[in-house]
């Protein structure tokens, strides 16, 4: 019999890949169910995204009181967040606290990568191999590998010729980096670039920012947590958590549930002005149709463009920082602290690589538009192979040796974004086809983990040991996800939601935009109808589930 405390066990009920928030909570719930669990984590500690992304200025753009677990009333009451929007070190501290408080480390093997997972049809188990040469067998294989965890450095010509230091924001050195006196290039102006550029500019001798696409960003207006705000949430946490679960994005954002076109120009301007003054990405909740109606969207986009023109002193630089060719919100909107103002500093230069493309990297720097920019360091804030990248990094083979990489060649296909036909007992937490990155990740993680825990509990109670979606149910779900996306403006942007940042990746809108509340209901309905769209098979032998201690 395998013990839940034995992290060296080679046969377990469930293997969880990843010890970020999804992996931690999944481990906790499976153990609560009495299953033996092994959790395999590439890093040397817990926290996932918040373990890896340690770049200067890294901060969550969902408010702290909402970006935290709800499953333990004690945890949510006792934890104190120091700021309105949490900085990465505080979120990592919280992840570590959760791991300790619920004694999860005893299940986790750190510094280990899962390299392959192969379904053994003879035994109805997954055979998992790690880069340390270990083989583990498990009935359930649960991928808690994160949506933005496969960091990517573009394949620039001459990449290895550069002799200075290079960093990727998603793989930042744990000891930090001192840029004092250095000439630094930052490539990329997504969330990571927008958060790190102001911090790097305070320290470095000079920063040259290489921008491919200008971004819409709203001032975060972060501040220390006020006792009143903390109390407001803590005194009413149950009701507020429920509001999060039923909302569109998993965030209580005071959605102004009216079209931007249904109000007067003055009222519309007041709404934007007030949201801009409050700060944060809930700016997008100013009206209910900003991502579905282009005319409405234009009004919000124009408001932000005007603010950029006010914030940036040099009109040419302001023009280059101004997004014009995609609707606001259709690439992930950013929240910043003095991003646009940073371009007023004497030690910051903007290079628009649409006008002056990066030609190559050379020993001393970057050549763009025929000009050489000599730098000591390059920061790649170039993002991730989002949603599918971390899943497909593992060589996953299902029934008949079918490869997930091959199955998903034309884009991901998953029923509910949770499971995929031909791969029994393989689950993805916040996988493609679920709200995932369009939502407050912790709310979506909890919903998936809870649903899955119920599902596995249901199987155990009925002596069922194999679950797998049907191809028909999966096709219908993928169609539903596509239809939902096509009702919005999202497909109009070349975003990582669409796989557009990776050369050769299929252009498919990957997350489900139907909304967190609606998706939760859809998942609940399917479970209530005896897991409609899934095929469940009985246990081939007695004692299919091992007991944990
Ligand atoms: P993002 O949002 O994917 O941003 C990456 C940035 O890097 C973006 O500005 C890209 O321009 C740019 N990029 C990517 N490839 C290249 C090449 N080849 N040349 C020049 N510039 C390039 O990643 P982040 O890490 O900032 O944020 C990811 C998420 O983490 C964020 O949305 C939050 O959810 C948290 P592009 O826009 O593709 O033209």
- The answer to whether the CB of 383 is under 6 A from ligand 1 is yes
Contact 88, 96 (CB under 8 A): no
- The answer to whether the CB of 436 is under 6 A from ligand 1 is no
Distance CA 120, CA 226 (A): 54
For residue 213, the ligand 1 atom closest to its alpha carbon is 39
- The answer to whether the CB of 88 is under 6 A from ligand 1 is no
Q: Hey, what's the torsion of the CAs at 349, 352, 356, 358, to 10 degrees?
A: 80
Helix (H) or strand (E) holding 29, with range, is helix 21-32
pLDDT tens-digit readout, 265-290 = 999 999 999 999 999 999 999 999 99
3-state secondary structure of 429: coil
pLDDT at residue 539, as a whole number: 55
Ranges of the chain whose pLDDT falls below 70? 1-6, 539-549
Phi, psi of 185 (to 5 degrees): -105, 135
User: Which residue CA neighbors atom 18 of ligand 1 most closely?
Assistant: 154
pLDDT at residue 7, as a whole number: 73
pLDDT at residue 8, as a whole number: 74
In 328-431 the beta strands, taken as DSSP E runs, fall at 334-336, 348-352, 358-362, 365-368, 371-374, 377-380, 395-397, 426-428
The number of beta carbons lying within 10 Å of the beta carbon of residue 42 is 21
pLDDT tens-digit readout, 175-201 = 999 999 999 999 999 999 999 999 999
- The answer to whether the CB of 216 is under 6 A from ligand 1 is no
Distance CA 265, CA 248 (A): 26
For residue 195, the ligand 1 atom closest to its alpha carbon is 26
Ligand 1 pocket test target in 85, 155, 156, 191 with most atoms within 8 Å of CB: 191
- The answer to whether the CB of 506 is under 6 A from ligand 1 is no
What are the residue ranges spanned by the domains of the chain? 6-148+386-548, 159-380
Cα 152 to ligand 1 centroid, rounded to whole Å? 9
Closest CA to 111 of 193, 210, 227, 7: 7
- The answer to whether the CB of 323 is under 6 A from ligand 1 is no
- The answer to whether the CB of 49 is under 6 A from ligand 1 is no
Q: Tell whether domain 6-148+386-548 is in CATH 3.40.50.150.
A: no
For residue 191, the ligand 1 atom closest to its alpha carbon is 26
pLDDT at residue 4, as a whole number: 45
Distance CA 395, CA 404 (A): 8
530: Cβ contacts below 8 Å, ≥ 6 apart: none
If phi over 0 gives left and psi between -120 and 50 gives alpha, with beta otherwise, what is residue 422? Answer: left
pTM for this one? 0.96
Ligand 1 pocket test target in 192, 369, 384 with most atoms within 8 Å of CB: 192
Contact 139, 425 (CB under 8 A): yes
Cα 211 to ligand 1 centroid, rounded to whole Å? 10
Helix (H) or strand (E) holding 523, with range, is helix 516-528
Distance CA 59, CA 57 (A): 6
Cα 387 to ligand 1 centroid, rounded to whole Å? 14
Residue with tokens 């394949």: 155
- The answer to whether the CB of 60 is under 6 A from ligand 1 is no
3-state secondary structure of 491: helix
């Amino acid at each position: 019999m395998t013990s839940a405390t034995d992290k060296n066990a080679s046969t377990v009920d469930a293997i969880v890949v990843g010890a970020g928030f999804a992996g931690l909570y999944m481990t906790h719930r499976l153990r609560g169910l009495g299953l033996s669990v092994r959790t395999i984590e590439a890093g040397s500690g817990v926290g996932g995204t918040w373990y890896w992304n340690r770049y200067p200025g890294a901060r969550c753009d969902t408010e702290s009181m909402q970006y935290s677990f709800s499953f333990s009333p004690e945890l949510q009451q006792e934890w104190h967040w120091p700021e309105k929007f949490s900085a990465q070190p505080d979120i990592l501290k919280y992840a570590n606290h959760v791991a300790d408080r619920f004694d999860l480390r005893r299940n986790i093997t750190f510094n280990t990568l899962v390299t392959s997972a192969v379904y053994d049809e003879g035994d109805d188990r997954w055979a998992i191999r790690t880069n340390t040469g270990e083989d583990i067998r498990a009935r359930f294989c649960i991928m808690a590998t994160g949506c933005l965890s496969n960091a990517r450095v573009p394949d620039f010509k001459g990449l290895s010729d550069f002799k200075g230091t290079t960093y990727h924001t998603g793989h930042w050195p744990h000891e930090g980096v001192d840029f004092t006196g250095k000439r630094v290039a930052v490539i990329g102006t997504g969330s990571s670039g927008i958060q790190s550029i102001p911090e790097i500019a305070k320290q470095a001798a000079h920063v040259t920012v290489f921008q491919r696409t200008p971004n819409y960003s709203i001032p975060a207006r972060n501040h220390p947590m006020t006792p009143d705000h903390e109390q407001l949430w803590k005194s009413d946490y149950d009701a507020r958590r429920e509001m999060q679960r039923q909302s569109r994005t998993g965030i209580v954002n005071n959605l102004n549930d009216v079209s931007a076109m249904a109000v007067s120009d003055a009222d519309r301007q007041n709404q934007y002005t007030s949201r801009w003054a409050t700060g944060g990405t809930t700016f997008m909740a100013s009206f209910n149709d900003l991502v579905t109606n282009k005319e409405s969207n234009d009004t919000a986009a124009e408001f932000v463009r005007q603010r950029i023109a006010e914030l940036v002193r040099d009109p040419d630089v302001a023009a280059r920082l101004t997004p014009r060719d995609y609707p606001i919100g259709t690439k992930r909107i950013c929240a910043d602290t003095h991003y646009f103002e940073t371009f007023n500093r004497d030690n910051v230069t903007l290079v628009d690589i649409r006008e002056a493309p990066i030609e190559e990297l050379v020993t001393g720097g970057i050549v763009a538009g025929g000009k050489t920019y000599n730098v000591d360091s390059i920061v790649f804030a170039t993002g991730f192979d989002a949603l599918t990248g971390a899943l497909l990094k593992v060589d996953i083979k299902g029934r008949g040796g079918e490869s997930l990489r091959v199955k998903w060649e034309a884009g991901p296909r998953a029923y509910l974004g949770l499971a995929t036909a031909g791969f029994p007992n393989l689950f993805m937490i916040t996988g493609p086809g679920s709200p995932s990155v369009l939502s407050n990740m912790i709310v979506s993680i909890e919903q998936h983990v809870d649903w899955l825990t119920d599902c596995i509990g249901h199987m155990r109670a009925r002596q069922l040991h194999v679950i797998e979606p049907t191809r028909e149910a999966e096709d219908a779900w993928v169609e539903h996800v596509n239809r939902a996306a096509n009702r919005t403006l999202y497909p109009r942007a070349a975003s990582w939601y669409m796989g557009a940042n990776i050369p050769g990746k299929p252009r498919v809108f990957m997350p489900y935009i139907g909304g967190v509340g609606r998706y939760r209901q859809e998942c609940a309905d399917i479970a209530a109808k005896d897991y409609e769209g899934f095929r469940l098979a009985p246990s081939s032998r007695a004692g299919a589930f091992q007991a944990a201690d």
